[in-house]
C-alpha cells in the first residue's frame, strides 16, 4: 500500500498554481514614503485638490499611529520605507479603450488564471473592472450600466468625474484614523472600484473586480466605495490571485459600503493571494478593513468571503446596523495551510431597533497553519429587540495546525437576543478511509468532507462564484493527503 497513517499529515504539499510573473515594464516609484510621494500619487491620478488634502491629512494621522499588536499572528516588523507606493503599467498615458487594445501579455496572464475576461464578461453577464497592479486597465459593460444610472468605474476616475459623491461618502464608514492600515491606505491608496446605485435601481448585473499583485515590493492599497441609494440593490464580486514572489508583499485595502433606506448590498469575495512557500516565505500580508454601514432603515448588507490565500490575513468585514430593522450578515470560509496565519472575523454593531445579524464562520486549518476567528457583537443601549446568531466552526486537517475562537459580546440592551455556537472537529483518518472504502478517491474524499463543512457559506455565494470558490478550495488543499 502506498498510504500509511501519516496520510493526513501529508495533506500540505500543494504548490501555488498561479505562480508566474508577467513581464510588463512597470513604472514604479522608488521605495519610501513622505509627503512628496503622496503628492506624486495624487498628481499622477490627476485628482482634484480635495483628494490631495484628504490624503495628506491621513498621512499625518498615520505618522502618529502604531501598528496593531493584538491579532493572533506573528511576522517580522514591516519596513514601510522599503515599500514602493505606486506602480502602474507603463502604457498608462494611452490607456486601452477596449479589450483589443489591452496588452496581450496582460490578457495572457488572465488566461493563465482562468479569467478569460471577455468571455467571462459576456457569458456570465458580469462587468469586470480589472485592476492590474494599481491602475484599472479595462472596464466593460459601462454603457449598459450607465443606462440604468449605475456608476461603476475606477476610484481615480470617480474622484475626477464624480467628486461630489466621493467627497460626500469617502471615509464616512472607515474614518482615516480608524486603524493603522486604514490610515496608511487613506494616504496612499492607488486605485480600486467605485460603485453608485441610484435610488430604486436594481443593478442589472453582478459587478466584479479582479485584483492582482504583479510588481515586486509594491504595496497594494486598494480603495473601494459602494453606495446604494434608497431601495436599490447591488451584488458585487471581488476575486484575486497573485503570482509567486520572494518578498513579502503588503496589501492594505479599505472597502466602504453605504446602504441607505431599504437598500441591499451583497459583497462576495474570493481571496487567493499568494500564501508563500511551505515555510510561509514570500506570501502576501493582507491587512484589510472592510466595513458596511446600514445607514438607512430596513437596509441590508451581506458579506460572503472565501479566504484561501495570503501568508497573513487580518480582516474583519463588519456591519454597522444604524437603521431600524437593518440586517447584517457575514458568511466566511477561511482556509489556512502550511505556515499561513489568519485572524479574521466580523463585527456587528447594533444601533437601530430590531436590527438583526447572522454570523457563520468556517475555519479550515491544515499543515502548521493557525486560524483564528475574532468576532464582536455589540448591542448598543438604544438597540431594542436586536438579535444576533453566531455560528463558528473549525475544521482541522492533521495535528500540527491550530484553530482559535475569540468571540466578544457587549450587550447593553436587555431585550437583545444573542446566540453563539462553536464547534471544532478534525478530518480523521477513519473518515477518509470510510470515503475511500466507498470508492471515492482520496482527494475527492477530502474535498467532499471540506465542502460539506463549508456548505452553509457556499450557498450564499452567487452561482458561478460558488463553483469557482469550491474549485479554489480544492486547489488549496490539493495534495494535502497521501
Partner 1 sequence: MTNTMIEIKDLTAAVDGTDILKGLSLSIKPGEVHAIMGPNGSGKSTLANVLAGRPDYIVTGGSVTFNGVDLLGLEPEERARAGVFLAFQYPAEIPGVNNTYLLRAALNAVRTARGEAEISAVDFMKLAREKMKLMQMDASFLNRGVNEGFSGGEKKRNEVFQMAVLEPTLCVLDETDSGLDIDALKIVANGVNALRDEARSFLMVTHYQRLLDYIVPDYVHVLAGGRIIRSGDKSLALELEARGYDWLLEEAAA
C-alpha cell at 22: 508577467
- Distance (Å, rounded) from C-alpha 302 to C-alpha 288? 17
Query: Does position 335 bind partner 1 by CB under 8 A?
Result: no
Closest CA to 172 of 158, 186, 159: 186
Burial class (CB within 10 angstroms; exposed 0-12, middle 13-18, buried 19+) of 168? exposed
User: In the stretch 66-105, what mask flags binding to partner 1 with x, by CB under 8 A?
Assistant: ----------------------------------------
- Distance (Å, rounded) from C-alpha 336 to C-alpha 370? 7
From 266-274, 298-306, 347-355, 449-457, span contacting partner 1 (CB under 8 A)? 449-457
Backbone torsions φ then ψ of 312, nearest 5 degrees: -135, 130
C-alpha cell at 144: 449598459
Rounded to a whole number of angstroms, the minimum distance from the CB of residue 445 to partner 1 is 8
Instruction: Using alpha carbons, list the distances in angstroms from residue 441 to 11, 227, 397, 431.
Output: 14, 46, 17, 12
Site size toward partner 1, by CB under 8 A: 28
User: In the stretch 293-322, what mask flags binding to partner 1 with x, by CB under 8 A?
Assistant: ------------------------------
Rounded to a whole number of angstroms, the minimum distance from the CB of residue 396 to partner 1 is 13
Among 106, 449, 457, 472, binds partner 1 (CB under 8 A): 449
Query: Does position 455 bind partner 1 by CB under 8 A?
Result: yes
Of residues 148 and 391, the one with the C-beta less far from partner 1: 391
Give the pairing type, strands 254-259 and 284-294: parallel
- Distance (Å, rounded) from C-alpha 122 to C-alpha 128? 10
- Distance (Å, rounded) from C-alpha 480 to C-alpha 435? 16
- Distance (Å, rounded) from C-alpha 475 to C-alpha 238? 19
Rounded to a whole number of angstroms, the minimum distance from the CB of residue 384 to partner 1 is 35
Query: Does position 1 bind partner 1 by CB under 8 A?
Result: yes
Q: Which residues share a beta bridge with 128? A: 208
Rounded to a whole number of angstroms, the minimum distance from the CB of residue 480 to partner 1 is 15
Query: Does position 2 bind partner 1 by CB under 8 A?
Result: yes
- Distance (Å, rounded) from C-alpha 6 to C-alpha 481? 8
- Distance (Å, rounded) from C-alpha 316 to C-alpha 292? 11
Query: Does position 448 bind partner 1 by CB under 8 A?
Result: yes
User: In the stretch 403-442, what mask flags binding to partner 1 with x, by CB under 8 A?
Assistant: ----------------------x--xxxx-xxxxxxxxxx
Rounded to a whole number of angstroms, the minimum distance from the CB of residue 431 to partner 1 is 5
Query: Does position 460 bind partner 1 by CB under 8 A?
Result: no
- Distance (Å, rounded) from C-alpha 349 to C-alpha 227? 19
Rounded to a whole number of angstroms, the minimum distance from the CB of residue 371 to partner 1 is 17
Among 410, 452, 459, 467, binds partner 1 (CB under 8 A): 452
Of residues 417 and 455, the one with the C-beta less far from partner 1: 455
Q: Which positions touch partner 1 (CB under 8 A)?
A: 1-5, 7, 425, 428-431, 433-442, 444, 448-449, 451-453, 455
Amino acid at each position: 500500500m502506498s498510504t500509511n497513517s501519516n496520510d493526513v499529515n501529508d495533506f500540505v504539499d500543494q504548490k501555488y498554481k498561479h505562480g508566474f510573473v508577467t513581464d510588463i515594464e512597470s513604472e514604479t516609484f522608488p521605495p519610501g514614503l513622505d509627503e512628496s510621494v503622496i503628492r506624486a500619487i495624487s498628481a499622477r491620478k490627476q485628482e482634484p485638490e480635495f483628494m490631495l488634502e484628504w490624503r495628506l491629512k491621513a498621512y499625518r494621522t498615520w505618522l502618529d499611529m502604531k501598528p496593531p499588536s493584538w491579532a493572533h499572528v506573528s511576522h517580522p516588523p514591516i519596513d514601510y520605507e522599503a515599500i514602493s507606493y505606486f506602480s502602474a503599467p507603463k502604457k498608462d498615458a494611452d490607456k486601452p479603450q477596449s479589450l483589443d487594445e489591452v496588452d496581450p501579455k496582460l490578457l495572457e496572464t488572465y488566461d493563465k488564471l482562468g479569467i478569460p475576461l471577455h468571455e467571462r464578461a459576456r457569458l456570465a453577464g458580469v462587468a469586470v473592472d480589472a485592476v492590474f497592479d494599481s491602475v484599472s486597465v479595462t472596464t466593460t459593460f459601462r454603457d449598459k450600466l450607465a443606462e440604468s444610472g449605475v456608476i461603476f468605474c475606477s476610484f481615480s476616475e470617480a474622484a475626477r468625474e464624480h467628486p461630489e459623491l466621493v467627497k460626500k461618502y469617502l471615509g464616512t464608514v472607515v474614518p482615516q484614523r480608524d486603524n493603522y492600515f486604514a490610515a496608511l491606505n487613506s494616504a496612499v491608496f492607488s486605485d480600486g472600484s467605485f460603485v453608485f446605485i441610484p435610488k430604486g435601481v436594481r443593478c442589472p448585473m453582478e459587478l466584479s473586480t479582479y485584483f492582482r499583485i504583479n510588481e515586486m515590493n509594491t504595496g497594494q492599497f486598494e480603495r473601494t466605495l459602494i453606495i446604494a441609494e434608497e431601495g436599490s440593490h447591488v451584488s458585487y464580486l471581488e476575486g484575486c490571485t497573485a503570482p509567486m514572489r520572494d518578498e513579502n508583499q503588503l496589501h492594505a485595502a479599505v472597502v466602504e459600503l453605504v446602504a441607505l433606506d431599504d437598500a441591499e448590498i451583497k459583497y462576495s469575495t474570493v481571496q487567493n493571494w499568494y500564501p508563500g512557500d511551505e515555510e510561509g516565505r514570500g506570501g502576501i500580508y493582507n491587512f484589510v478593513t472592510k466595513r458596511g454601514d446600514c445607514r438607512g432603515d430596513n437596509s441590508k448588507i451581506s458579506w460572503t468571503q472565501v479566504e484561501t490565500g495570503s501568508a497573513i490575513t487580518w480582516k474583519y468585514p463588519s456591519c454597522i446596523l444604524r437603521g431600524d430593522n437593518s440586517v447584517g450578515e457575514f458568511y466566511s470560509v477561511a482556509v489556512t495551510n502550511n505556515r499561513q496565519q489568519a485572524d479574521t472575523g466580523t463585527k456587528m454593531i447594533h444601533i437601530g431597533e430590531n436590527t438583526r445579524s447572522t454570523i457563520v464562520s468556517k475555519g479550515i486549518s491544515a499543515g502548521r497553519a493557525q486560524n483564528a476567528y475574532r468576532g464582536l457583537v455589540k448591542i448598543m443601549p438604544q438597540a431594542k429587540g436586536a438579535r444576533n446568531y453566531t455560528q463558528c466552526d473549525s475544521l482541522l486537517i492533521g495535528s500540527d495546525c491550530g484553530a482559535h475562537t475569540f468571540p466578544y459580546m457587549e450587550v447593553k440592551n436587555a431585550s437583545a437576543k444573542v446566540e453563539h455556537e462553536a464547534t471544532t472537529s478534525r478530518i480523521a483518518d477513519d473518515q477518509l478511509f470510510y470515503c475511500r472504502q466507498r470508492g471515492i478517491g482520496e482527494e475527492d474524499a477530502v474535498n467532499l468532507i471540506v465542502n460539506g463543512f463549508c456548505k452553509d457559506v457556499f450557498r450564499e455565494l452567487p452561482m458561478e462564484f460558488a463553483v469557482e470558490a469550491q474549485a479554489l478550495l480544492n486547489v488549496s488543499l490539493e495534495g494535502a493527503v497521501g
